[in-house]
Structure 1
Amino acid sequence: MIDFSQAEQQIQSVTNFQDLVSTPFSRETNAIGWIRNLRGDFAEIVSKIELNENITVIDEKQLRELKLSEQGHIAREIILNDMQLLTAHGAAPVLNVIKYYDRDDDYPFFPTDVYSFHVDSSPVPTDTFLCTYYGVPSDILPNSEAIQKILIPEIRGELKKLYDGEDEGFESFLTENFFDLHYQAKPNTLPISLGLGHIWRLSNSYPESKIPPCVHRAPKEKTERLLLIC
């Protein structure tokens, strides 16, 4: 079971795909999950994929060609159905096996990789969909327990040292380098795991949005991760 007690107003659970895509966000709710208890052996799918890169994309043809056991076949059919549902909705789902993401070491005091709590940004209204079938799932933070890193005095001071320009251009510098998208958990705040097998719809940051974007991060991998995202 997922513990939603830290963010009861932020998270809403649904029982089917139609409700997942049609339930509106609100000022309180910016993460909606189709909560499921899936059957099937998703680990077998990961084990059958040749991993030559840190992130391996699996297309539908490759997935269908895998020779799988009965439980592996069940897992594959679930993934294919999820991809079809999302595609019919107008999304472009991508299935990945992730060994690890590239780390950002350009700014040691302020990493901007996906392991940092962040929000997704888009120039047009859109949402992020994701589902972890195997491996460690993503985390989110209640918005009330997250603080934008550029507002933390010590970090802001380091960013001003990094910035080389006129004062009026500093805010643009923060945006152009995506510093404004990253957040830090307040003291004693525990991240909320999104769990395995559930499809999540997370709000994004985009111009004129009235909904707070969902603060989330990729997990530190303990093994390969099978992730559907769009």
Structure 2
Amino acid sequence: MCQNINDERNHDNQIKVVSTFSDLINTNFHGNINALCWKRNLIGDFKEIVSQLQLKENITEISVEDLLGLQLSEKGIAARDIILNDIQLLTDLGASPSFNLLKNYERDDEFDFISTDVYSFHVDRSPVGTDTFLCTYYGAASDIIPNNQVTQKILIPEIREKLQELHDGNEEDFKTFLQENFFDLHYQPNSDAQPVNLGTGHLWRLAVDHPEQKVLPCVHRAPIENEGEYRLLLIC
């Protein structure tokens, strides 16, 4: 069962809520806090934008030019202005935001004992200092989960044993094998875990695993999409 951002019990643990974009980018992660949320109640018709965009692939990147070419109502224009402003804010920050119309992500069904797709709880990793920014404007929203409520999948004995069989090599190369195949990035929720749904309209900044990071990376997952409904997602 997922909690939501309005549940204040979570805010002192993993999440810090801020009220401006400046606070979002200038607030440091610390202690258990590895997720920052610019909480917003957006006004505008984002469904209208979804209805006018053309899905070319399961994940279709939408350009600024595509957005500007839409013929929208007053509420649709308000929604577009919000998206364009968010893209500009992140671009000015030096990020490379990707705005997507999304039907679904590719599933990983190669192994029946471990999944490494984005529907599995996972962390992002980067060789350089960076953060993940994320906003769902329409459709199902992602979940995050406190680090003390998950177990790294490669540490679960039955999974680790099968991975060792799959590797079929010496122990010294096993760690490299786990990293190269991204097995070490994925986590299993504990039986009493309480994920937090990120909701729509809020702009999030999530901690990433990189050499300069001073907190644990934020464990998150993509949602199962609502049937017959596309997602409108900004991510970088």
CA distance in 2, matches of 1:208, 1:45: 39
CA displacement at 1:112 relative to structure 2: 0.3
> Residue 80 of structure 2 is aligned with which of 76, 85, 89?
76
The corresponding residue for 1:175 is 179
Work out the percentage of aligned pairs sharing the same amino acid: 58
Q: How many residues align?
A: 230
**Aligned pairs (5 A) from 1:147-226:** 147-222=151-226, 223-226=229-232
CA distance in 1, matches of 2:49, 2:8: 30
CA distance in 2, matches of 1:56, 1:195: 21
Is the 8 Å Cα contact of residues 153 and 184 (structure 2) preserved in structure 1? yes
The corresponding residue for 1:64 is 68
Is the 8 Å Cα contact of residues 4 and 11 (structure 1) preserved in structure 2? no
Q: List per-residue Cα deviations over 1:41-94 (Å, max 9, x = no partner).
A: 001101101112101110000101100111111000000001111111111111
Aligned: 1:227 with 2:233: yes
CA distance in 2, matches of 1:5, 1:137: 20
Q: Classify the secondary structure of the residue corresponding to 2:120.
A: coil
State TM-score, norm by structure 2: 0.95
CA displacement at 1:6 relative to structure 2: 4.0
Is the 8 Å Cα contact of residues 6 and 142 (structure 1) preserved in structure 2? no
CA displacement at 1:179 relative to structure 2: 0.5
Is the 8 Å Cα contact of residues 136 and 232 (structure 2) preserved in structure 1? yes
CA displacement at 1:172 relative to structure 2: 1.1
CA distance in 2, matches of 1:143, 1:6: 13
CA distance in 1, matches of 2:11, 2:146: 6
Q: Classify the secondary structure of the residue corresponding to 1:9.
A: coil
CA distance in 1, matches of 2:38, 2:81: 17
RMSD: 1.1
The corresponding residue for 1:35 is 39
CA displacement at 1:128 relative to structure 2: 0.2
Which segment is superposed worse, 200-209 or 217-226?
Answer: 200-209
Aligned: 1:138 with 2:135: no
> Residue 108 of structure 1 is aligned with which of 108, 112, 126?
112
CA gap of 1:4–1:151, structure 2 versus 1, over 3 A, is farther
Q: Amino acid of the residue matched to residue 49 of structure 1?
A: L
> Residue 44 of structure 1 is aligned with which of 30, 41, 48?
48
Gaps of 5+ in 2: none
CA distance in 2, matches of 1:141, 1:2: 15
Q: Amino acid of the residue matched to residue 59 of structure 1?
A: S
State TM-score, norm by structure 1: 0.97
Which segment is superposed worse, 155-164 or 126-135?
Answer: 155-164
CA displacement at 1:4 relative to structure 2: 4.5
Gaps of 5+ in 1: none
Is the 8 Å Cα contact of residues 60 and 100 (structure 2) preserved in structure 1? yes
Q: Amino acid of the residue matched to residue 24 of structure 1?
A: N
CA displacement at 1:107 relative to structure 2: 1.7
Q: List per-residue Cα deviations over 1:87-136 (Å, max 9, x = no partner).
A: 11111111001100000112221110000000000000100000000001
CA distance in 2, matches of 1:177, 1:11: 30
